[in-house]
């Protein structure tokens, strides 16, 4: 009897399923949530540090501006991601063209960039303090505008992946039927498809907003290169500026403020989007026909592609200009750090999938219940905590940064699980919500066991979202610097190695860029291979 048959047989027991879900919840709370928010306990244990900050009006003014910068930048970036990401998601899912798989893979690559090098590349491209200039336009790249441009790159792929994952599950037959009955494509999409996008929109908005709020490394490098790291702050860079290797009053206070505000705002946004009603009662036939044919749809696609190329891909890959410069490389150290990064990311993603799918299914299938709502909100917490504070919180919980060797690697893996797990859960939750539970109920009624029902009925439908979540989590782990260093300075992942090169000064920029290029090339080959396998599998299923 195979292992699957044995597990499938015991999955029919209600007690076994309850015990498994209890284990999943215990792991979620004890390994992900509690270590992530452990820093908040310092409000009670180190109140003296916080009270001193509250009494300093000048310090509180700086904290207020830093929090405002973080939230306003995240809001602007998320709106831009929705507007520019929806057409690209549509193109990637509903249209076939040569090079589609290449473009699809290329879109994920900025996520694999170490954040510090991405900050360097973006600042260089937009002309401050060196690199490409824009003569005659008179554009002044303030720190605020530069961070908006930078954070678009960090967040845009999350929106496209979330929307495309949902769109792949929406049958185009509904639109075809509507158009057969005389509706224009614009009307069919607006009244039939877009209302089904709510789960993907909630997922994408949550991920983009939270990713922008928590970004630290690339933001700090960009502000440093612009010479304003000590005069312009976001919440995470203010935390980094005040950490000094340990928790301080300002760091504790701004972490708690950002966590509470972000949670409240995300709950509000989710409620608004979830209850948003896109009316299909009113149609404008003439307008629909004009927007469905000729210049309008072509202009929309062209503008979306232009945005993606100019504001996401080209600034990200500008560091490839260093290929023209001779560079001395320590390939032994680089390959060792790549091996460590892939070990950490691989184990973290495997954990995320095994223990994330059950939680995502419970949240999706019990929407509206109090416990599911609590879990749904808790999942967002590791995403919105600035990575530096998250790393120090995890280090404090798991025993500090003194660990070395295998123990240090295990601690780093646990840390990376904390901020990658929500990426998997959020994507799968949105996908499961779009699947009619009647399919699973029918399979169970016909005698299928719960595990068999999941593997043969539900999983094939949500597979694309599982893969999308895994890719987002894997690339997020590969690019993380701040949390890794805060947990253990002895674990030399690729981002840590690259950031150390960047800190050495301009003379080491080419070496840092070349290390990033090697990492990018490896990630591109792997992701392209994964998508090719998925594509062949889909063809066989068809």
Q: Do residues 388 and 241 touch, judged by C-beta distance below 8 A?
A: no
- Mean pLDDT for 167-190 is 67
pLDDT in tens, 241-268: 776 555 677 878 887 887 788 777 777 7
- Mean pLDDT for 480-496 is 79
* Rounded Cα distance, 228 and 53, in Å: 23
pLDDT at 416 over 70: yes
| Percent of the chain with pLDDT strictly greater than 70 | 82
Assess if residue 6 is contained within a domain: no
| Nearest Cα to Cα of residue 152 among 107, 197, 202 | 107
pLDDT at 177 over 80: no
Please report, for residues 364, 429, 438, the alpha-carbon distance to residue 501 in angstroms, rounded to integers and kept in the order given: 44, 39, 55
Backbone angles phi, psi at 170, to 5 degrees: -90, 120
pLDDT in tens, 418-442: 889 998 998 898 888 878 888 888 8
> Comparing 386 with 348, which gets the higher pLDDT?
348
Question: What pLDDT is stored for residue 491 in this prediction?
Answer: 84
Please report, for residues 85, 101, 117, 297, 302, the alpha-carbon distance to residue 91 in angstroms, rounded to integers and kept in the order given: 10, 12, 29, 11, 11
The continuous run of DSSP H or E covering 374 comes out as helix 370-379
Please report, for residues 56, 127, 339, 429, the alpha-carbon distance to residue 346 in angstroms, rounded to integers and kept in the order given: 45, 37, 10, 21
Q: Do residues 358 and 24 touch, judged by C-beta distance below 8 A?
A: yes
Q: Do residues 339 and 494 touch, judged by C-beta distance below 8 A?
A: no
Tokens coding 39: 């820093």
Place of tokens 């601690």: 411
Helices 370-379 + 331-365 axis angle, to 10: 160
Mean pLDDT lowest among 114-123, 204-213, 410-419: 114-123
pLDDT band at 343 (very low <50, low <70, confident <90, very high): very high
Place of tokens 């539900």: 458
- Mean pLDDT for 171-191 is 65
The number of domains in the chain is: 1
| Nearest Cα to Cα of residue 203 among 297, 123, 89 | 89
Question: What pLDDT is stored for residue 191 in this prediction?
Answer: 65
Assess if residue 13 is contained within a domain: no
* Rounded Cα distance, 109 and 102, in Å: 11
Question: What pLDDT is stored for residue 421 in this prediction?
Answer: 93
DSSP-derived secondary structure letter, 130: S
Question: What pLDDT is stored for residue 130 in this prediction?
Answer: 47
Tokens coding 183: 């509706």
Q: Do residues 488 and 403 touch, judged by C-beta distance below 8 A?
A: yes
Tokens coding 71: 């939230």
pLDDT band at 362 (very low <50, low <70, confident <90, very high): very high
Mean pLDDT lowest among 190-194, 274-278, 501-505: 274-278
Assess if residue 8 is contained within a domain: no
pLDDT in tens, 69-126: 999 999 999 999 999 998 898 888 888 888 787 888 788 778 777 777 788 788 888 8
Assess if residue 10 is contained within a domain: no
- Mean pLDDT for 180-196 is 65
Q: Do residues 220 and 119 touch, judged by C-beta distance below 8 A?
A: yes
| Total Cβ atoms within 10 A of residue 268 | 10
Question: What pLDDT is stored for residue 136 in this prediction?
Answer: 47
127 dihedral zone (left: phi>0; alpha: psi -120 to 50; beta):
left
Return mean pLDDT, the chain. Answer: 79
Tokens coding 238: 């203010």
CATH code of the domain containing 425: 1.10.3720.10
| Total Cβ atoms within 10 A of residue 168 | 21
* Rounded Cα distance, 311 and 318, in Å: 11
| Percent of the chain with pLDDT strictly greater than 90 | 15
Q: What is the CA radius of gyration of the chain?
A: 24
DSSP-derived secondary structure letter, 171: -
> Comparing 201 with 177, which gets the higher pLDDT?
201
Is the bond into 107 cis (omega within 30 degrees of 0)? no
Backbone angles phi, psi at 186, to 5 degrees: -60, -45
Assess if residue 424 is contained within a domain: yes
DSSP-derived secondary structure letter, 186: H
Tokens coding 443: 């399979």
Question: What pLDDT is stored for residue 538 in this prediction?
Answer: 53
Strands (E), 320-425: none
Give the residue numbers spanning the domain of 163: 18-541
Place of tokens 């504001």: 311
pLDDT in tens, 437-469: 888 888 888 888 888 888 888 888 888 888 888
pLDDT at 132 over 50: no
* Rounded Cα distance, 124 and 18, in Å: 54
């Amino acid at each position: 009897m195979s292992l699957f048959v044995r597990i499938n047989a015991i999955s029919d027991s209600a007690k076994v399923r309850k015990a498994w879900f209890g284990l999943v919840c215990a792991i979620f709370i004890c390994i992900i949530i509690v270590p992530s928010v452990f820093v908040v306990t310092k409000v009670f244990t180190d109140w003296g540090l916080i009270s001193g900050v509250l009494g300093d009006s000048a310090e509180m003014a700086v904290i207020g501006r830093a929090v405002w910068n973080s939230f306003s930048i995240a809001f602007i970036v998320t709106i831009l991601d929705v507007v520019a990401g929806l057409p690209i998601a549509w193109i990637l899912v509903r249209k076939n063209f040569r090079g589609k798989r290449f473009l699809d893979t290329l879109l994920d690559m900025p996520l694999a960039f170490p954040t510090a090098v991405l900050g360097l590349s973006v600042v260089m491209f937009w002309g401050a303090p060196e690199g490409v200039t824009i003569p005659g336009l008179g554009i002044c790249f303030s720190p605020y505008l530069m961070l908006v441009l930078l954070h678009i790159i960090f967040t845009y792929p999350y929106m496209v992946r979330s929307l495309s994952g949902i769109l792949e599950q929406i049958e185009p037959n509904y639109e075809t039927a509507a158009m057969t009955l005389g509706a224009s494509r614009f009307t069919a999409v607006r009244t039939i498809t877009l209302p089904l996008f709510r789960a993907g929109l909630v997922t994408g908005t949550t991920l983009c907003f939270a990713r922008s709020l928590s970004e630290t490394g690339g933001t700090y490098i960009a502000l440093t290169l612009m010479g304003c790291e000590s005069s312009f702050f976001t919440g995470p860079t203010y935390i980094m500026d005040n950490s000094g290797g340990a928790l301080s009053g300002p760091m504790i206070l701004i972490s708690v403020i950002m966590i509470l505000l972000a949670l409240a705002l995300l709950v509000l946004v989710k409620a608004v989007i979830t209850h948003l009603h896109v009316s299909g009662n009113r149609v404008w036939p003439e307008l629909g026909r004009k927007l469905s044919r000729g210049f309008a749809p072509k202009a929309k696609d062209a503008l979306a592609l232009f945005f993606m190329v100019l504001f996401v891909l080209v600034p990200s890959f500008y560091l490839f200009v260093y290929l023209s410069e001779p560079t001395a490389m320590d390939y032994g150290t680089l390959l060792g750090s790549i091996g460590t990064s892939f070990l950490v990311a691989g184990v973290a993603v495997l954990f995320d999938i095994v223990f994330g799918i059950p939680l995502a299914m419970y949240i999706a299938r019990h929407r509206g219940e109090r416990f599911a709502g609590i879990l749904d909100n808790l999942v967002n917490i590791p995403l919105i905590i600035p990575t530096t504070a998250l790393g120090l919180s995890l280090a404090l919980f798991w025993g500090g940064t003194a660990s070395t060797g295998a123990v240090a690697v295990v601690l780093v893996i646990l840390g990376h699980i904390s901020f990658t797990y929500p990426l998997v859960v959020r994507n799968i939750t949105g996908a499961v919500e779009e699947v009619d539970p009647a399919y699973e109920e029918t399979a169970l009624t016909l005698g299928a066991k719960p595990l068999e029902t999941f593997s043969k009925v539900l999983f094939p439908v949500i597979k694309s979202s599982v893969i999308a979540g895994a890719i987002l989590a894997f690339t997020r782990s590969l690019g993380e610097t701040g949390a890794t260093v805060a947990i253990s300075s002895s674990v030399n992942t690729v981002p840590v190695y690259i950031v150390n090169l960047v800190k050495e000064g301009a003379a080491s920029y080419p070496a840092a860029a070349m290390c990033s290029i090697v990492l990018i090339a490896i990630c591109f080959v792997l992701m392209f291979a994964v998508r090719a396998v998925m594509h062949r599998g889909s063809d066989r299923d068809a």
